[in-house]
Chain A
Amino acid sequence: MDETESALTAWAIEVEALSKSFGRNRALSNIDLKIGRGEHVIVFGPNGAGKTTLVKVLSTLSKPSSGTVRVDGEDIRSDPVKVRRRISLVSHDTFLYDNLTVYENLRFYGKMHDVPDLEENVREVIARVRLEPRLHDRVGILSHGMQQRVSIARAIIHNPSILFLDEPEAGLDPQAVVMLRDVLESVNTPERTIVMTTHNLRQGVEMGDRVVILDRGKIVYQASRDDIDTVNFYEIYQSYTGTGE
């Protein structure tokens, strides 16, 4: 499929009958999911539900055991390199090198993505995460919250059309979470598709166009924000997962 054809594909992500097993342990079971362009999908689920595995498969880091996953019309198994040009991942691990400066980290990842006008792009993304004064500081001396903001800058340096966020707030204090949320809002563009996993039900419901609840590797609930009873979402979540996590 060429660039023009894939640009015409209606869905940013199409998942059909996806299963993923680790030995005898089935982490994902028969997942069907279609995510539109520019849509923000929030995935909830208790620990061990398969959220991280789902993100790893969608972002090409893990191969599906069965089923198909198409990202921008491209099958992730047939041409993962092409898919990786269009996606990015922010996880609770930042992928950053502590002994390199913020600038060196962003420049390194920019080079790996063939980012044109790299200097200009580095300055632009660092401004978007509001860390210009720390550009030449080593990442290792920054707080975890700041490192996570640098990680967001790293993730958007090649202007991906799809951004995966796997519990980006894990381990952050409440103040850093608020800051991170602001930063996520600033990198949010109408054409960018976002898939985020989180335990924060209230924030997730506010941020998403659609929510999905995953439990024991299966999608047990999904609804668009307009159809959700936001006031009672905690009870809905509990009724589907049997936990109050």
Chain B
Amino acid sequence: MRGSLSKVLAIFWKDILLEIRTKESVTAILVFALLVLVIFNFAFEPETATMNLVAPGILWVAFTFAGVLGLNRVFAIERENSRLAGLLLCPIDPMLIYWGKLLGSFTFMFAIEIIVTPIFLVLLNLPLFLPRLLLIIVLATLGFTSVGTLFSALANNIRARDIMLPILFLPIVVPVIIAAVEATALVLQSSPWGDMMTWLQIMIAFDIIYLVVATLVFQYVVEG
């Protein structure tokens, strides 16, 4: 168990180090997410009823498409120079590669969300301290990246991978995005905890199901 954890962390740390040095993913995702927010902010007047209605959708559109951009890069690093073969030659269960990669995808996406969310809240003149929104972001991001990491590995073997990833992946992840949008709307309306429980439960169930499924099938995706 300890050995497995150290290998997961080694893969995770390797990806973090590469990202710190190249800034290939985070910069592109961050710029994209901020652009979406700014454009929508100009399209809808802040503090209007329409803005309150569409704001959760804007936030999750920004996160979803920025997330897809990031997921395209998750296995691109391993594709170059046949590094995935190098990883597969290591005497480890392939599921550890999945968990290491998932930890990296989650961290990158969560880091972007932590930067983008306060800007979104300021643009909408909303309070900055919304712990319930943080919970929604954590649950939705976990679901998003658990499926996304698997599909990124799958798309890695496909020729038109940049196009195929969103086509394959977005229909699967729709339930978690809808739940996140609905729950975010309730948080922004200051609704009580009880109102958003159903959406939180959907996200938790989605996370558990897809973490288990992706862990089990990852080996067949990368080893063929």
Contacts and interface: CB of A to CB of B under 8 A. Distances in A.
Interface stretch (A4-12, A90-98, A208-216, A227-235): A90-98
A97 B18 contact: yes
Interface string B90-105: 1111000000000000
Nearest to B19: A99
Interface stretch (B80-88, B128-136, B171-179): B80-88
Contact of A111 (B6, B21, B85, B224): B6
A81 B3 CA distance: 14
A88 interface: yes
B6 A99 contact: no
B10 A81 contact: no
Interface string A6-48: 0000000000000000000000000000000000000000000
Interface in B3-52: 3, 6-7, 10, 14, 17-18, 21-22
Interface residues on A, range: 20 to 34
A84 B91 CA distance: 5
Contacts of A94: 81
A240 interface: no
Given A97-B14, A99-B18, A112 B81 contact: no
B86 A109 contact: yes
Nearest to A104: B17
A94 B81 CA distance: 6
Most buried by A among B7, B85, B224: B85
Interface stretch (A57-65, A120-128, A176-184, A199-207): A57-65
A129 interface: no
A100 interface: yes
B87 A112 contact: yes
Interface residues of B, number: 24
Nearest to A92: B82
Given A63-B224, A81-B93, A95 B10 contact: no
B91 A95 contact: no
B10 A91 contact: no
A113 interface: yes
A109 B81 contact: no
Interface string A75-97: 00000011011011101011111
B18 A112 contact: no
Contact of B81 (A84, A85, A93, A108): A93
B76 to A, nearest CB: 13
B89 interface: yes
A173 interface: no
A85 B223 CA distance: 17
B82 to A, nearest CB: 4
Most buried by B among A82, A96, A112, A113: A112
